[in-house]
Amino acid sequence: MFGSKVDSTGKELEGDSSYIKPSVGERVKNNKLTSIEFIRKDDGKESAKFTFTQSNGASLVWVVFAPEDDKQLDRINRNIKHLCTKYVTEDEFHAVQANSFEAFIGGIKTLILNKAVDIPVTMKIVYNKKGYASLPYFPNWIALPDNEDTLSTNPRYDFYEVQEKSSPVGGLSDLDSDDDVF
């Protein structure tokens, strides 16, 4: 109902934002995987949304898009295997075989979600090029607390501070300089 005092889940609405920024760092402790959702947009594009909740109440969302080629499929399999093997064995992960992205995400959700909600993990959380908290492109980005020393920084790709976008001095492009480009 418009003008309601509560949202659709029954939680009281607040007039101010209660958004909490996710913690970022090489070893952010006490994260829990709290949901996995398959999404199909009106245009037919498919994705999966993995939500991690941090101990400070912040949420970090990892979106995985359905692969369009074999290279993307390999990257997805590698990253999702990296996630799943924190909660189940490799054999249990490989038992999830699917012919569609939707079926694969459904199988992964069934396999790990009930186990994951009770297991805190340590994660490497970085800023992406757009300045949002994100997971690194390549594993290792998640570890159990007793194995968190496997998380390390790759200075070429892992940024723990928002990167400033460089703009040319005086607003001039490279071609506007006095340098001879030929």
Position 170 scores a pLDDT of 47
Which DSSP string corresponds to 73-127? Answer: HHHHHHHHHHHHTTTS-HHHHHT---SSHHHHHHHHHHHHHHHHTT--EEEEEEE
Considering the domain boundaries, does residue 11 fall inside one?
no
User: pTM for the full model?
Assistant: 0.79
- Our count of domains for the chain comes to 1
Those residues with Cβ within 8 angstroms of residue 180's Cβ, 6 or more apart along the chain or in another chain? none
Considering the domain boundaries, does residue 70 fall inside one?
yes
Position 17 scores a pLDDT of 63
Considering the domain boundaries, does residue 161 fall inside one?
no
Position 8 scores a pLDDT of 72
Considering the domain boundaries, does residue 47 fall inside one?
yes
Please report how the helices 70-84 and 101-116 are oriented relative to each other, as an axis angle in degrees rounded to 10.
Answer: 20
DSSP-derived 3-state class of residue 179? coil
Position 163 scores a pLDDT of 84
Range of the domain at 37: 25-156
Position 68 scores a pLDDT of 96
Considering the domain boundaries, does residue 40 fall inside one?
yes
Position 32 scores a pLDDT of 97
Considering the domain boundaries, does residue 37 fall inside one?
yes
Considering the domain boundaries, does residue 165 fall inside one?
no
In this structure, what is the dihedral angle of CA atoms 49, 82, 94, 113, given to the nearest 10 degrees?
A: -40
CATH code where residue 48 lies: 2.40.50
Low-confidence ranges of the chain (pLDDT < 70): 1, 13-18, 165-182
Q: Is residue 24 a contact partner of residue 125, using CB atoms and an 8 Å limit? A: yes
Does the N-terminal peptide bond of residue 140 adopt cis geometry, omega within 30 degrees of 0?
Answer: yes
Considering the domain boundaries, does residue 125 fall inside one?
yes
Q: Which two tokens stand for residue 145?
A: 């607390």
Position 10 scores a pLDDT of 73
